[in-house]
Amino acid sequence: MLLFLYTLLLFHYLQTKVNTLCRMMGDPKHPLLSKDGEVTIGGIFAVHSKLTLSSFEFTEKPQPLSCSSVNLRDFRMAQIMIFAIEEINRSESLLPNVSIGYQIYDNCGSRLFSMNSTMALMNGQEFAAEDRCNGQSLIHAIIGESESSATVILSRTTGSFKIPVISQSATCDCLSNRKDYPSFFRTIASDYHQSRALAYMVKHFGWFWVGAVNTDNDYGNYGMNIFLNTAQEEGICVEYSVKFYRTETEKLKKVVDIIKQGTAKVIVAFLTSFEMNSLFEQLSIQNITGLQMIGVEAWITAKSLITPKSFRFLGGSLGFAVRKINVEGFSDYVIKEFWDTAFPCSQTERNSFQYALNCSGYQDLLPVKNYNEDVPEQRYASNVYKAVYAVAHSVHSLLKCREQEGCDKGLTIQPQQVVEALKKINFTVKFGDHVWFDSTGGAVAQYEIVNWQQDSDGSIQFKPVGYYDASLPPDQRFVLNTENIIWAGAQLGLIHRVDSLYIFKGRPVCCYDCIPCAEGEISNETDSNNCRQCPGEYWSNAQKNKCILKAVEFLSFTDVMSIVLVFFSLFGAGLTVLVAILFYIKKDTPIVKANNSELSFLLLFSLTLCFLCSLTFIGRPTEWSCMLRHTAFGITFVLCISCVLGKTIVVLMAFKATLPGSNVMKWFGPAQQRLSVLAFTLIQVLICVLWLTISPPFPHKNMKYYQEKIILECHLGSTIGFSAVLGYIGLLAVLCFILAFLARTLPDNFNEAKFITFSMLIFCAVWITFIPAYVSSPGKFTVAVEIFAIVASSFGLLLCIFAPKCHIILFKPEQNTKQHLMGKAPTKSN
C-alpha cells in the first residue's frame, strides 16, 4: 500500500516537473519594431504583403521565410501605434508615471506567420529563472490583425488566456459572438451594419435585380450572408451569389463567366482588396465593362486598384468607406521622429557590419522615409490610434492613476483585468471621436459613401457623396447626394418597368422577369411591383413614367381623306350648277321642258345642297355642327327624292292622260306637284324638329374604341330619331323606285322613268351598303363613310337623270325636238 502511494507521488512530481520546465523549440521570432515598457502592447500588421516559401525537402532544416513588397497601409498602422504610445508616454494626465512599451510583428499577409507572431507575443523571447514558465504573458493587449480571417485565428488562440485583442479593421460579424471571442474588441463597426446598409443603398436606387460576389473567407461569407438575408427582406432579387479566394485562379475565371453571362448590371462585391484586384484583372482581360460595382470598405478606397485602365472598368463604383480622420502631428512624425527614435536601423550605421547583419530585413522600408503624401488618405490609422488609447485608459483605471499622485505601480495587472476594463471605457480622443465598445465589443457604425470619379487631369478620386451613421435616428442614418454621383457607363434606372414573377431554372425563387408597363399604365419607380393606370382622358408616354393627354381624333379639313372628299363634294356641286346653267340657257327646248322643268331646277338645287351638306361632317364636332349635319342631310335628301318622286308621278300621269276620257292630269298639275314636294319635305322637317327637341345629337368623346386616343364624334342622341330620318328617306326612295320601274316600259323616245329607275337603284344600293360600313368603321372613318354615301348617291342621281339630257343638248341637238321626243320624227328611206 505504501509502495503504491509512493509511486503516485513520484508520478505527480515528474508530471509537474515536465509541465513547468520550458524549452524554446526552433529559432525565436523577433519583433519588427519594439520598445520596453512597464505595460506592453503587442501589434500584428501585414507590413509586407508577400511571403516567399522555402523548399520543404525534409533533408535539412528549412531556411527562414522571407517577406517582400511593402504594404504601406499596414506600415502606417504600425507607425501610428508607436506615435500614440509615445504621445501617451509624454502625457501627464494619462498613465503619468507608467511607460508603455510595444512589440510589433510583421505577419507578411500570411496566416502561417500570423500564428507564429501570435505565439511569439504570448510567450516572449526569454524565460524566467531555471527555465521555468511562470504562466503569465508579458503582453497586456494585442492590436491587430487587419483581416477578419487572421483576426479569428488570433482571437481563438489568445482567447483561452484572456488576452484582449483590439482590431482596427476586422469587420466580420462572426467576431461579435462573445461566447467564442470573449476578449475581442474592435474600433470599427461589425459588417452587420455595412451589409444591411448595402441592401438599403441598393433599394434606394431601385435596383431590384443584382449580382453578388464575395471573398471565400470569414469576412466575405458572413458579410454576404447578412446582405442576402437583408436583400430578401427588402424585396431585392439576387441573380447569382458566387465566391472565390485570391489563390483560386480557376474558380475566379468561372465567377467572371457567370458575371459575363448574367443579366444583372449591378454587382455587389463583398471582397477584400486582394480579391478585388484579381477580379479587376480578369474583367479587363475579358473586356467586361458597364458594370455598376457596389463595394465595401475593404476595397472601395484601395489605392492598389488604381491603374491607368482601372477607371474604364471600375469608374462610377459606389460603396462604403471608413471615415477619413486627420490625426494631428502624425504626418510630420512619419518622416522625421519615427526614423530617429523608433526605427531600429539608423543611417549612421549603414557601413558597419552589425548594420548589415541586423538591418537587412529593413532595407525595403527606407524608400518611404521621406514620403507622407498618403497619410491624409489613410482611413484605418485613426482606428489604431483609438485602440492604443483604449488600452491606456483601461490600464489607467486598473492602476488607479491620479494626475498629481501618479499610478500605483505595486498593482499587478493581468490581461483578463484589461478585458473587463475595456468593457467600461468611455472617453473622447483629441480629434473628437467618442470611444466606447458595445455589448459585442464593436464600435458604432459610421461610414462615408464614396464614388469613383475622374478629375480633369485623369486622376481617380474617391469622392464622398453621402454617409451612413447608425448612431442617428433611423430616418436620418442614410444620406445620399445623388446628383453628385457618376455612374458606370450610362445612367441606370431610366426605364420604368414592372416586375412579373416567374421562376427560372437555376436561379433563385425570387427571380423576376422585368417587363414594361402595359399601354395606358405607368410607374414612377424603376422595377416597381405594380403599374398605375392612367385616368380616363390620359395615356402613358413612350417611357411609361408619365400620363399625358390622349390624342383627340376627328375628321379634320387637313386630312388627306378629307381633302379628297371635299374635292368631290365641291366638284359635284359645281357640276350641278353647270347643269342648271345649261338647262336655264336651254329652258325653251323640248327636252328641258319635258317632265316639268320646274321640278328639274328644284331637283338640281336640292342636289347642290346634298353635295354641300357633306361639308358639315368635316371639322371638329360642336353642338351646333352635330345638329346641323344630320338635319341638313335628312331634309336636303328628302327634298331631292321628293322631286324625283314628283317627276316619276308626272311620267305616269302623262301617259295615263293620253287614254281616252282620262282627265287625271288636272289632279296632278304643277301646283299639285309643288304641293307634294312641299308635303313630303315638311314631314321630314317635322321628324327632325322632334328629334332635335327630344334628344338632339351632341359632341361625344368616344374612349371605348381606341384605348390610346379619343374619338371626337357626334353622338346621335336618339337612335330612333336618326333611324326615322333614314327610314323616311328610304321609304320615299323605294316608292320612287317602284313607280319608276312600272313606268320604264311606257313608249317614248325619251322616257325619263328608265333613268330614274337606274338612279334609284344606285341610290338604294349605296345606302344599303352604307349601313354595315357605317357600323363597322372606326373613328373618323365612320364620318368618311357617311360623306362618301352622300356624295356617291348624289352623283348617282345627277348623272343618271341629267347626263342623258345634257348629252342630247350638247352633242345631239337634232334630237332636241318635240317630234323626236314623241316618236314622230321622219325616218330615212333606202
Closest CA to 629 of 701, 727, 697: 697
Closest CA to 635 of 671, 686, 669: 686
pLDDT in tens, 650-690: 777 766 555 555 555 555 667 777 788 888 889 989 999 99
pLDDT for the residue 770? 79
The CB-side HSE value for 716 (13 A sphere, CA atoms) comes to: 13
Most confident segment among 500-509, 529-538, 738-747, 749-758: 529-538
Distance CA 129, CA 540 (A): 89
pLDDT for 10 beyond 80: no
pLDDT for 764 beyond 70: yes
Mean pLDDT of 181-197: 95
Mean pLDDT of 618-634: 87
- CA 791 from chain centre, in angstroms, equals 55
Mean pLDDT of 225-251: 92
pTM over 0.75, yes/no:
no
Closest CA to 677 of 630, 724, 722, 643: 643
pLDDT for 634 beyond 80: yes
Judged on CB neighbours under 10 Å (0-12, 13-18, 19+), 807 is exposed
Mean pLDDT of 690-696: 90
- CA 385 from chain centre, in angstroms, equals 42
* 793-803 core/surface letters (b: 16 or more CB in 10 A; e: else): bbbbbbbbbbe
Distance CA 159, CA 180 (A): 8
pLDDT for the residue 498? 40
Q: Does an H or E element contain 427, and which?
A: strand 427-428
Number of helical (H) and strand (E) elements in the chain, helices listed first: 23, 27
Closest CA to 469 of 297, 299, 298, 323: 323
Q: Model confidence at 493, in pLDDT bands (50, 70, 90)?
A: very low
pLDDT in tens, 39-85: 999 999 999 988 776 666 777 777 777 788 898 999 999 999 999 99
CB 803 within 8 A of CB 581: no
Mean of the per-residue pLDDT values for the chain?
83
Helix intervals (H) in 535-669: 560-585, 590-593, 597-613, 623-657
Q: Are strands 184-186 and 165-167 parallel, antiparallel or unpaired?
A: parallel
* 281-305 core/surface letters (b: 16 or more CB in 10 A; e: else): ebbbeeeeeebbbbbbbbbbbbebb
pLDDT for 170 beyond 90: yes
* 55-73 core/surface letters (b: 16 or more CB in 10 A; e: else): eeeeeeeeeeeebeebbbb
Query: Which residue carries 345606302 as its cell?
Result: 767
What secondary structure does DSSP assign to 748-776, as a single string? -TT-HHHHHHHHHHHHHHHHHHHHHHHHH
- In the three-class reduction of DSSP (H, G, I as helix; E, B as strand; rest coil), residue 293 is classed as strand
pLDDT for 428 beyond 90: yes
In whole angstroms, how far apart are CA 163 and each of 42, 156, 790?
Answer: 10, 10, 105
CB 122 within 8 A of CB 139: yes
Distance CA 193, CA 442 (A): 11
The amino acid at 713: E
Distance CA 490, CA 507 (A): 27
At residue 411, φ and ψ (nearest 5 deg) are -80, 135
pLDDT for 500 beyond 70: no
Closest CA to 385 of 682, 637, 78, 724: 78
CB 647 within 8 A of CB 752: yes
Distance CA 536, CA 550 (A): 9
- In the three-class reduction of DSSP (H, G, I as helix; E, B as strand; rest coil), residue 690 is classed as helix
Q: Does an H or E element contain 45, and which?
A: strand 39-45
Closest CA to 729 of 696, 697, 770, 692: 770
Mean pLDDT of 287-313: 91
